[in-house]
Amino acid sequence: MSRLQGCWLDKEKDSMEKVVFLDRQSLNANVRKPSFDHEWEEYDQTSPNEVVSRLSDATIALTNKVPIRKETLDQLSNLKMIAVAATGYDVIDIGVCKEKGVSVANIRNYAVNTVPEHTFALILALKRNLIAYRDDVLDGRWQKHDQFCFFDYRISDLRNSTIGIFGEGALGQGTAKIAKGFGMEVLFADHPPPKADGVEFTSAEEVLKRSDIISLHCPLTDSSRGFIGMEQFKIMKNDSILINTARGGLVNEEDLVVALKEGLIGGAGFDVLTKEPPKDGNPLLDLKLPNFILTPHVAWASDEAQQFLADQLIDNVELFVQGNPQHLVV
């Protein structure tokens, strides 16, 4: 091979995109390889101290929950794009990406069925006290009873009840659609702009006062962090239930424990915690109450939703490389 040919091949390699997926194990779906010439690396998981070394010569990073913060971005001069394998992008330092000209794309509208359905799985389980009755059956209470059934726990219909929804995006509106099918009244909580068009809003305080169910479908931002706490629990009905399939940091978890134990609210169903996985513990993990349900951040994870996400993830990367990017955050 001539020296000239070698130089040409080196330049071709330099121009080739290097794509690195930091936490491939977080997605249980088929992830196709991009259609353009590229070098691909993937890792099941990546710890914080491995991010820089694994992205050192990457031009495109794929991440679901591995954080990419300022101290990392400062060391990644080749990085052009971060494709987030989720709708939420709070693991990325967006401001620094904007300053450095690093594009960030997220996933849109992939969980429009799975999250609202999981939301109502939690609602129905709590409103009909399924956990409490199941536990009694497992403990042998039904087998020892004198009649065909017993009424130890309250059961409530959804029809004619009121659901208050914080967040009127695709997931909030998908939840509202199911609620209307059950014959429920739907209230969307007002909030600062931007707001969705065509939605009638009610003040947040009025939503808390009137709702039998509060369901959270809003992003985690500096302004929304911990916005549901003791003050809000005291406004809510004492038999209302709180559902959170959005982000753990939206709710003050210590206050929730107190609210449940003191009967300020009737129950709660959560799919998220402030820190995941909760290796250092969490106050909600210690709750052994029949009116509290915790699932391990799986509301998004139906087979269909995960495959839709995986396909859109690579679509985002391909369109970015083609110069026609979609779903950009910055």
Active site residues: 247, 276, 297
Backbone angles phi, psi at 4, to 5 degrees: -65, -45
d(CA 267, CA 84): 33
Buried b (16+ CB within 10 A) or exposed e, 103-128: bbbbbeebbbebbbbbbbbbbebbbb
- Closest CA relative to residue 260, chosen from 297, 293, 295, 227: 293
Residue partners of 113: CB distance under 8 A and separation at least 6: 174, 302, 304, 305
| DSSP 3-state of 185 | strand
What are the tokens at 237? 């009905």
Q: How far apart are the first and last CA of the chain?
A: 43
- DSSP class of residue 190? P
d(CA 330, CA 99): 10
Residue partners of 189: CB distance under 8 A and separation at least 6: 164, 165, 166, 201, 202, 203, 204, 207
Beta carbons of 97 and 117 less than 8 angstroms apart: no
Q: Side chain identity at 83, as an amino acid letter?
A: A
Beta carbons of 38 and 18 less than 8 angstroms apart: yes
